[in-house]
Amino acid sequence: MSCACTASGRILLKRLCCVALSLAATIVVLLLAELAVRCAMPQVNLQDTQRSLLRDRAYGQSVGWQPDVQGISFGQVVQIDAQGFRDLSGPKHADRSWILLGDSIAFGVGVNAEATFAGLLQARFPRVAIRNTAVIGYNVENYRDVLRSLLAAGKPPDHVLLFYCLNDIYGYFNRLPEDDSAWQKCLGLLRRNSKLYVVAKDVLTDRSKSYFTYDRVFYSDNQAVERAVDMLDEIHRMTSKAGSDLTVVIMPYEYQIRNPEPASLEPQRVLRRQLEAKHIAYLDALDWFRNSGQDSRAFYLYGDPMHLSRQGHTTLFEHLIDALPFTHGTKGTGP
């Protein structure tokens, strides 16, 4: 009996050793693959955002940035200024100001602040205080909360630019990362630390198509569209009452730029029709990118369905300068 037990123990030990060696070999292979991706593909951004950058109830019920902090977002060091906005190195005191409302697209994740369209605007108009209030995850209700707080706190801005992403039609964003499930936290850990994970997702799936296909459905839901546009109309009334003008800039997904099918334009058609009915000024940025003749992927972060690359920000900036009438004043002074 003792010999049989000893033999069984040895077999079990061998199996455990094999499992341990296989696991160790797998980890080594994954680490080598991670290193190879980091060396060969420097254009790949890490994703997700450091929790310590965010604060609860910054604007009413809306999450916002912690003032005067530095942290990591999409693999880039970001600086938040004393007002709780992305630091653009603008003037501390200025007679004129613009407010930029938006989510992670307008914030400019994965790109240095000075290379974002907001940073380029600030450099172009150094005497204007350009306040980039965008926060990752925001939607139209959050934009309303931010604008309401800023209008109540001081002098109204001269201009308000709202950068509308197609997923702004989602529900209210007012939760912090600690509210995520265990599975969401595991995925967040991978997004923050593994470029191999980002590349694998891009190779194995068409994330741009998946995101667009999912979000397009919302624009067939009249109730969802009306809710989003009614919130934009409320923002419009707030800016009008304050003596500021509002322009909504509709931002495209990468899949829409590379896919010429008419169905891919449906969200923009729905939004344009609704905005025109409400007499809200807007710019549709889709053709700015579509008519460039360049590969759509050049305008976006690697494998990303919506976030602009450095080139994408430059293209957006150049078209904004041409399209917005109040940017046509003397260079460097602003309107």
User: Is residue 317 packed enough to be buried (19+ CB in 10 Å), middle (13-18) or exposed (0-12)?
Assistant: buried
Structure tokens at 18: 């094999």
Give the pLDDT confidence score for residue 333 in this predicted structure.
44
CA dist 70 and 50 (Å) reads 10
Give the pLDDT confidence score for residue 176 in this predicted structure.
52
Structure tokens at 327: 């940017």
The verdict on residue 335 lying in a domain is no
- Same-domain pairing of 28 and 102: no
Q: Is the CB of residue 275 less than 8 Å from the CB of residue 162?
A: no
Q: What is this structure's pTM?
A: 0.89
Report the number of distinct structural domains present in the chain.
Answer: 2
Structure tokens at 129: 């205080």
Structure tokens at 88: 């653009």
For residue 321, give its domain range.
Answer: 51-327
- Same-domain pairing of 36 and 171: no
The verdict on residue 57 lying in a domain is yes
Give the pLDDT confidence score for residue 331 in this predicted structure.
47
Distances in Å between the alpha carbon of 41 and those of 29, 59, 116, 165, 308?
A: 18, 39, 21, 28, 18
Which amino acid, 309?
S
- Same-domain pairing of 152 and 19: no
- Same-domain pairing of 176 and 27: no
For residue 315, what is the domain's CATH number?
3.40.50.1110
Which is nearest to 128 in space by CA: 116, 115, 119? Answer: 119
- Same-domain pairing of 36 and 113: no
Distances in Å between the alpha carbon of 187 and those of 40, 50, 193?
A: 23, 14, 10
Give the pLDDT confidence score for residue 82 in this predicted structure.
94
Give the pLDDT confidence score for residue 179 in this predicted structure.
57
Distances in Å between the alpha carbon of 49 and those of 5, 10, 53, 73, 89?
A: 53, 48, 8, 4, 22
Per-residue pLDDT tens listing for the chain (335 residues) = 556 567 777 787 888 888 888 888 888 888 888 788 788 878 887 778 888 899 998 999 899 999 999 999 998 899 999 999 999 999 988 899 999 999 999 999 999 999 999 999 999 999 999 999 999 999 999 999 999 999 998 889 999 999 999 999 987 655 555 556 777 777 777 777 787 777 777 778 788 999 999 999 999 989 999 999 999 999 999 999 999 999 999 999 999 999 988 889 999 999 999 999 999 999 999 999 999 889 999 999 999 999 999 999 999 999 999 999 988 754 444 45
Which is nearest to 218 in space by CA: 229, 208, 207? Answer: 229
Give the pLDDT confidence score for residue 73 in this predicted structure.
93
The CA-to-CA distance between both ends of the chain, in Å, stands at 93
CA dist 121 and 335 (Å) reads 12
Distances in Å between the alpha carbon of 128 and those of 64, 90, 142?
A: 23, 7, 24
The verdict on residue 227 lying in a domain is yes
Structure tokens at 311: 């080139």
- Same-domain pairing of 10 and 138: no
The verdict on residue 237 lying in a domain is yes
Which amino acid, 246?
L
